[in-house]
Amino acid sequence: MKQLSLDNLRTFVTVVDLGGYAKAGEKLGLSQPAVSLQMKRLEQQLSKRLFTKQGQRQVVNQAGLSVYKTAHTMLDLNDGIFRQFQPASLKGRLRLGIPSEFATTLLPSIIGEFGQLYPDVSLEVTSALSKSLLEDEALNGFDLVMALVDPATEVDGQVLLIDELVWVGDRSLAIPQATLSLVLAPAGCVYRSRVISKLKQQTRQWRISYTNADLSGITAAIKQGLGISALAKSSVPEQLDIIRHHHLPELGTIKICLLSGKSQHPQASGKLAEFIQSRLAQSN
Contact partners, residue 283, CB within 8 Å, separation at least 6: 29, 30, 31, 34, 105, 106, 234
What does the pLDDT read at residue 169?
94
pTM given for the model: 0.66
268-271 LR contacts (CB < 8 Å, sep 24+): 268/90, 268/91, 268/92, 268/94, 268/118, 268/121, 268/143, 269/94, 269/143, 269/144, 271/90, 271/114, 271/118
Query: For the chain, which residues make up each domain, given as ranges?
Result: 6-84, 93-284
Distance, in Å, from the CA atom of 49 to the CA atom of 112, rounded to the nearest integer, reads 30
Question: What pLDDT does residue 86 have?
Answer: 61
Q: Are strands 206-211 and 180-184 parallel, antiparallel or unpaired?
A: parallel
Architecture of the domain defined by 6-84: Orthogonal Bundle (1.10)
DSSP string, 11-65: HHHHHHHHTSHHHHHHHHT--HHHHHHHHHHHHHHHTS--EEEETTEEEE-HHHH
pLDDT confidence of residue 274: 87
Which region, left, alpha or beta, applies to residue 243 given φ > 0 means left and ψ of -120 to 50 means alpha?
A: beta
pLDDT tens for each residue of the chain, 284 residues long = 678 889 999 999 999 888 888 888 888 888 888 899 999 999 999 999 999 888 878 888 999 999 998 998 898 888 878 777 765 567 889 999 999 888 888 888 788 778 877 888 899 999 989 988 888 777 788 999 999 999 888 888 889 889 999 999 998 888 777 889 999 999 999 999 999 999 999 888 999 999 999 999 999 999 999 999 999 999 999 899 999 888 899 999 999 999 988 778 888 888 898 888 888 876 66
Helix (H, G, I), strand (E, B) or coil at 215: helix
Cα–Cα distances (Å) from 72 to 42, 58, 141, 182, in that order, read 15, 20, 40, 46
**CATH number listed for the domain at residues 93-284:** 3.40.190.290
Q: Which helix (H) or strand (E) holds 126?
A: strand 121-127
Distance CA 227, CA 209 (A): 7
pLDDT value for 109: 76
Alpha-carbon distance of 184 to 200, in angstroms, equals 16
Determine the Cα–Cα distance for residues 272 and 143; give it in Å rounded to an integer. 10
